[in-house]
């Protein structure tokens, strides 16, 4: 018998399930059956969602702040990578193996 791997759920899926649970149109058990989850999993996601709800209102903006931050972070990492390549190319062209070691 092979080892069964854990299922991974996207943030969108978790949010969808939690919002359904918060609407209380169905019981946790009904939602668990519908989405093939254990009721405890939905309860855990719901608690986590409610405990972190305040982050939506941080920085005076909506939840899009984290998306913007992630995009900016990716862009900055790309720039760092390009600059590292440029620095290494310049060092090679100038014959610099390493920076001088200044002792204090």
Q: Where in the chain are the domains?
A: 8-51, 64-99
What pLDDT score was predicted for residue 65? 59
Return per-residue pLDDT of the chain as tens, 104 residues: 567 788 899 999 999 999 999 999 999 999 999 999 999 999 999 999 999 888 877 766 555 556 778 888 899 999 999 999 988 888 888 887 666 666 65
Task: Name the residue among 58, 19, 65 with its Cα closest to residue 42.
Answer: 19
- Whether 20 contacts 26, CB under 8 Å: yes
What pLDDT score was predicted for residue 2? 65
- Whether 4 contacts 18, CB under 8 Å: no
Reduce the DSSP state of residue 101 to 3 states and report it.
coil
C-alpha span between 38 and 15 (Å, rounded): 16
What pLDDT score was predicted for residue 69? 81
**What's the Rg (C-alpha) of the chain?**
24
What pLDDT score was predicted for residue 20? 93
Would you state the structure tokens that stand for residue 2, as one six-digit string? 């092979």
C-alpha span between 84 and 92 (Å, rounded): 12
What pLDDT score was predicted for residue 55? 82
């Amino acid at each position: 018998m092979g080892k069964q791997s854990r299922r991974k759920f996207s943030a969108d899926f978790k949010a969808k399930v939690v919002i359904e649970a918060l609407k209380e149109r169905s019981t946790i058990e009904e939602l668990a059956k519908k989405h093939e989850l254990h009721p405890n999993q939905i309860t855990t996601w719901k608690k986590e969602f409610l405990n972190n709800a305040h982050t939506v209102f941080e920085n005076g903006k909506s939840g899009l702040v984290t998306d913007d931050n992630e995009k900016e972070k990716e862009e900055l990492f790309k720039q760092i990578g390009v600059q590292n390549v440029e620095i290494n190319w310049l060092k090679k062209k100038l014959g610099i193996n390493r920076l001088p070691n200044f002792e204090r």
